[in-house]
A and B are shown apart, each in its own frame.
Chain A
Amino acid sequence: MSTTRPIATTRSATGIPTGKLAVWWVIGSEIVIFGGLLASYVMHRLGHPEWAEYASHTNTWFGATNTFVLLTSSLFAVLAHHAAEQGDGKKAAKWLLGTCAGGLVFICVKAVEWTGEIQHGYTITANGFWHFYYTAAGLHGLHVIAGCIIMLIIANDARKGKELHRVELIGIYWHFVDIIWIFLFPLLYIAK
């Protein structure tokens, strides 16, 4: 797959580099995917007063820990971008690995949290709230895992000083995943 990049990719009639423009469009399409799911959740939540009780069984501290982890990993991602902008691929790769580690911690916390909840009988089929709880967090978790995998590939390239512009692109995606969680946290954990 060693095709040379076409000339089309290097053009930039809008002034935004091609890769970055595409990432913005990806995020645009992700907004409507999560938006559709969360809008459905909110309208059910408002129409079902009994869900408040179901929601009270979520553990805010797990949610808060994960928010902290993701915010910190976002900081690492932007520091990686900062390093990449200065042409320091090795440093960028290190920060990216830090971000990745954040993602990993996030998934581990989720695993512990879900294990406890499932053991207490709060499975995905329990009721409407738990349907949404697992689906929304699960969809978000898939994005975290996908982001981590892509980030490892990019970190490997960045370490050799190649494709440094991609560090920013994965960063933008990662911040977006972070923002989704920023909204999932109050929706699923705080509103009780």
Chain B
Amino acid sequence: MNSQETRKFRLPLRQYLAEKSIRGLLFGSGVLSIFVTISIVVILVVESVKFFGYEDVTLLKFLTDTQWTPLFADKHFGIMPLLVGTLMVAFIALLVALPLGLLSAIYLSEYAKPRIRSVLKPLLEILAGIPTVVYGYFALVTVTPFLKQIVPGLGVFNALSAGLVMGIMILPMVSSLSEDAIRVVPDSLRRASVALGATKFETTTRVVVPASLSGVVSAFILAASRAIGETMIVAIAAGMNPTLTFSPLRSIETMTAYIVQVSLGDTPVGTLEYQSIFAVGMALFVMTLFFNIISHFVVKRYREVYQ
């Protein structure tokens, strides 16, 4: 504070103004990111309000109706089928990604030799960098035909194959975030555990992982948020058939896939069908935001700070 005051008087006016305006410019770009969030919220709210302003569309029906048929003559706007589809695919993905991701993280940080680690980490990064549309292709063209041989009654489009591939897609994220959390556990805890006679397995599962639990849990929640918001895999491999079903073998439609479906078609701007994507987008945004906040909270509230 003090040094700034004195510099203010020492600097020539021109330079002082330049300094100030640069600072203002940089501040402006920082604030712009807040405006991005504000615009997202404003757009979603305003357009969703328009949607709920239509006849026959109420928030209650939106949340409780079990049919989603905006493109039919008999229109129903119940988000249930989309929501169940979304959660089912996400659930399958998490069944794959959470255990595999955590175990890989444990292996990488506790067991792997530096040389193996230096090979494995970049490989996982490549996996994380593959575009989702490529995973979609993989799910539809490779995984589904393969699964058909094992699982009878599997549709061409199905939640199972989309979910499994999505699980592989988010695995690197779970693994890398969990590994970061596990690696900050100080060696003193490991030493203490071993000194008390614990084996490496006991040390890992009863000391190291519990100590890093907040970071691991927050990684899991972020993974869930990512799975819910994922678009291309489900749009390609899970189908575009909004039926309320709990069978992973059938074609379903997720919230994200519905948004893609409408924007691909030639639905005129301003119609009820068109407006519905904003309501679905709003639901999606609220859900992911909720997960992100929880994850943030978990880290903040339960983190054990080691010196």
- Whether chain B is bound by chain A comes out as no
